[in-house]
Structure 1
Amino acid sequence: MSYDKVPLAGVIGSPIAHSKSPQLHAHWLKVNGLKGFYIPMDVASDDLETVLRTMPKMGFVGANVTVPHKEKVMELADLVTDRATLIGAANTLIFRKDGKIHADNTDGYGFIQNLRENAPDWNPKTGPAAVLGAGGAARAVVASLLDAGVPEIMISNRTRVRAEALQADFGSRLTVVDWVQAGNMLEDALTVVNTTSLGMVGKPPLRVPLDGLRKDAVVTDLVYAPLKTRLLLEAEKAGCTTVDGLGMLLYQAIPGFERWFGVRPVVDSATRAAALR
């Protein structure tokens, strides 16, 4: 009697206990009636290469990657997509049958898809975007906004040199604004994005003045704990269209799940509920 291998996938990071990805993927496996498991794995940096080389031998078909390994896996992968190269980080790995590790970044896809689904009237080409933060998430957001046709991006970060590094990489459509002037960016911005952890549960608040928000702006926060951050609450009061950060997490997970388990999952209210459990 022969038994089919049960496909395994998971998320690698350190720490990892807080990740919502396992409950999200478990939900999709269940509703699609698929065999498979998705598990959280707390992996130290020193063990990353050994773990990645061993996983395919254990039945793993792929993995998500989160902090602090998103840059390091780029060096360990055999094949890296153009978008992961542009962003400088990977969040999705596919272990191919020929033994090669394929690295991709779906964060930008997840970000744009979340905006398109939850702010259907959003038109990136109508005016500038303002981006708060210049870390790994900001790189994915900037790359995807430029790709979507945003004419100009104003970017501000507490450490200015990090914002300047993004400007150097992404070019003349980026303008760096000092953090103390970050509130002023909002007066011209039709797309506003917080990519920092400010405003998250357990983190300092986002203290940028928000009185410059335009009522015709689309405002989104990558923070999803709480779902309604101060930025989103103030934006709602100002009459803006707001999009919470949970959707980005859900949509960025679609391409990986489809590659690993062979079915394209759907994001709906039950998916959101599963991720919030």
Structure 2
Amino acid sequence: MAAEPPDPLNLWLQRQLGQVVVGRTPVGGGCIHQAWRLELAGGGTVFAKTNTAACLPLLEAEAEGLQQLARHAPTGLVIPEPLVWGVEGEQAVLVLGWLDLAGAAGGVVARDGWFRLGHGLAVLHRSSAASAPAQGYGWGADNFIGSAPQTNSWRPDWGVFFAECRLAPQLAWAARRGQPLRGTEELLARLPQWLAGHCCQPALVHGDLWCGNAALLADGRGAIFDPACYWGDREVDLAMAQLFGGFPPAFFEGYGAAWPLEPGAAERVGLYNLYHLLNHANLFGGSYGQRAQASIDAQLA
């Protein structure tokens, strides 16, 4: 019986990593890409994401965001390292360092871990703010929020950036889908004035910090991953961490111990999370549209 031909993806991985892949097991990795645990002949383990070749820009943007986060992350905050990425045949591939995630155990150990994760995020924000780009708020190129495009043109004013590069594209997308929302013109016109008194420094933000994109590791350290990075108000990360739950109070306590939030932060949570509600409405439909409309109504009230 003729031997089966070698897997082209495994051959590509072998060329890129310099090691033979002796095992490839599917693992949970979100709703966009396929995810794999790769066992290497040298005894190591890495994590890989694959998708169609057309999705390479999503993986490239993820790799860039992780690299930038790692530049500013303190020692105790783990950012998975992008190892290789590219296209093999009809597949786009991104290989990352493996994260040994902790189980669901709670107690003092978990509380301490979440406190340190929040503390580490604050240190990352503060370190990056000290070397923020002169252009202000934005990113060097458009990237993605989930699978949706994310506009990143530079703006010197945070309120203008959030109106023009975050909310306006999502509101226009909703209208194109035949689901326009009430009060959008008034919201976009008033938003820069609402944020004019909030003198935030541009900081490197994760951009998509829901509980599925952060975890504790088996050694007690915290990790963040799957970013949608840009230079913005650090409060956007803390706001999204509240949107879907999953972050315990210790996370926010740890953040505040390293860099307390500015006055009025609680009042800005709903405005910042409107961006994510709109994105979810445009991607998934369901009740997110109603929640986005309720948020707009509350902001205008």
Q: Give the structure with higher Rg (CA).
A: 2
Q: Flag whether TM exceeds 0.5 (same fold).
A: no
- State the TM-score, normalized to the length of structure 1: 0.27
Greater per-residue helix proportion: 2
